[in-house]
Structure 1
Amino acid sequence: MRLRQAALLIAAMTLVLAALLLPLARLVQVLAADRALSAAVDKARNLEFLVTSVSQDDLAAAVDQANSDLPRYPATVYLPDGTVLGSAQPRTAAVELAARGSSLTAEGDGGWEVVGPVAGSAYTGIVVVRVFVGDDELTRGVARTWTVLGVLGAGALLLAVLAGDWLTRAAVRPIRELAALSHQLASGRLAARSRVHGPPEVQAVAEGLNHLAGRIEDLLRAERESVADISHQLRTPLTALRLEVEATPGTAAIAEHVASLEAAVTRVIEQARRSGVPVAPAACDAALIVAERAEFWAALAEDQARPVTTEIAAGPVLVGVAEADLRTCVDVLLGNVFAHTPDGAAYAVRLTGGGQLTVEDAGPGFSSPDVRRGESGGGSTGLGLDIARRTAQSSGGDLTIGPSRLGGARVVVDLGPPRQPSFAVR
């Protein structure tokens, strides 16, 4: 914006200065020529007066003195008998015309001639007075004046550009602050606000953006509270279910699942109550968590006659994900295998030392290479892969899907390293 404003200002100022300075430069040139010709005319008139009032000898001395005092305009007096006084110059066409009684200013060779006839009583015939003005005299001082005008014009243009740039920066600065505020809001800093200053239009935008940020913060707070309230309402029936399971013999496995469900609900409540407060960077041993969940799902795979391949790098494999989040991620991926492939379909779980988790199966695969949140071609909600993707992205990694070497779907979760190198691994 500043460059466009500067270019526009330079173009406008150039037109204004051109409209002002070009006529002024032409006027200087005309005034210089008029000044030179006026000086020549004055000198010629003075000599014409002397022709009628002094003798020839005195006239010759006066012409020499005039040429000595003002050599830039050499004067010549042509007497009727052919005598030439002053600057020795041949008779020109203008002199011959003046000898017939005409006063004129004519352009000659290398300048202009100012000639005038004088009928002196001491001479038989017409005396012609000629004063010559060279081309250099017609333009004396013009180049210097043009240089001064050019410097003044360049200075005016520079000052205008600097002033325009200052005004532009003053107008752009609040807009940049608004852009910075939008980036802060996009990064989750909903408490950020912008100063209300600048032009009235920008102030209106700042007030609207501040109001929008406050409204978003209120809506998110209400949503968190709603999620927390709903999750909290689940704790009562879960507690009753856990007590019933504990009182029933031979339901240890069910009790374990109920306890996991209750812990998950508790995590939902805690996350909803955070209200955007930053938490310490998470970290865990991915090898330990993936091995644990792979072993858990392997029991169900055995009941369904599913061939299972498990390749887990020797731990610890440190990743920047909380244990609970990684456990949920693995359960989601393996749960999708059991939910969307027929009994007996093989699957494989692999974890490299760099934190890359791969789950692939021998099922029908993905109907589309681009699976979005809330969309699924397999009759599900489509949220499972989104949970795994957000888990990967929270650690600085990402999730990719594609065809499996087993013939079905392949999901690769790249988990980033922990942000803090020192932490406790259980």
Structure 2
Amino acid sequence: MRRRLIQSTLAVVLVVIAVFGVSLVVVETRTITNSAQERVESEAVRLAGIVDSRILGDEEITSEILVDQVGDDRYAVVHIPGQPPIEIGQKPSGDVIESTRRGEEGETVTVQEPRSLVTREVGRTLLIIGAVALMAVVAAVLLALRQANRLASPLTDLAETAERLGSGDPRPRHKRYGVPELDRVADVLDSSAERIARMLTAERRLAADASHQLRTPLTALSMRLEEITLTDDPATVKEEATIALAQVERLTDVVERLLTNSRDPRTGSAVTFDLDEVIQQQLAEWRPAYRQAGRAIVSSGKRHLKAVGTPGAVAQVLAALIENSLMHGGGTVALRTRVTGNQAVIEVTDEGPGVPADLGARIFERAISGRNSTGIGLAVARDLAEADGGRLEMLQAMPPVFGLFLSRTPVKKSSEDERTVR
């Protein structure tokens, strides 16, 4: 690109120099020639006037008297009737510029100038024009180099930015070049980089959430299948298979919920449901794991509570809290339901050491964990609760008490939301 810009700029300058330079040379040559002819004619007229005045005054006319009236580079000859010619200066050889004038007393005056003088003056003019043209070419090349660097360097930067985007580095550069067209391209690339960064973040978050949220249902399903393989009782097989199918349905709900949240975390399918059903389902699912660990999981509190939310999402939140207690807590895990105002609250607590003081409210941040865990379980649980219009809070650090708050009455949609749904 640099070469093309330089070549094109140089070609334009050369064409301009050729067109205007040739015209200027022709005009200057004619001007210098005409000026020399006018000088010779003017000198012939002046010399004829001097000769006339001396003839009328009966004064002597010699070459010594007239030599000061003729230029050093010119030759003049005066013809007076009845007298020999009077020559002034040295007669030039070759081509000359000549002018002849006749005086009032019958004399003739001829003045000649060598054309070589005109040629030398034209040569000097051509040399000046050539020097100016050369300076113009040099200036054009320097300007072309500057413009080429100004345009090519940003294009190189933009190409490197596009290459970085293609290689998976979506950091925007926020670099501008003072050229509107190039700045527009830079704006588009920066916007694309931000969109790609958001997409990559969403994909990584979905992968992390999926690996965390699917681990528990898959483990429970695996345990049910192991129970089926270890028994020969048809009734037990049927019961375990029924439970396994229910867990497969919950697993499908988990996957759909994760995909929905990855597209729009605010999208939910909240309904009024019975909290007891979700709590009993979680107790049945987690009791085998707690028995294996030599611990117990129980429920208490107000029964037959109705809440508004997505049963699958609430189940996932409770599963995250129960798993957190299994991994980090100790003793018996208790799920207690109560009512506060217009909200139903499910509290999950255990008899473990609680949340370390250095974690505090950061326990809900991603990648924050007290032990060697993923650190995303509670973060996902809070996102799921908020997507259903509820909230998840740590009510007490020692012993740990987490509370899931759910509304007991459906939230009326605004007219704008209804229009969006339609």
TM-score by length of 1: 0.47
Could you say which structure has the higher helix fraction? 2
TM-score by length of 2: 0.47
- Bigger Cα Rg: 2
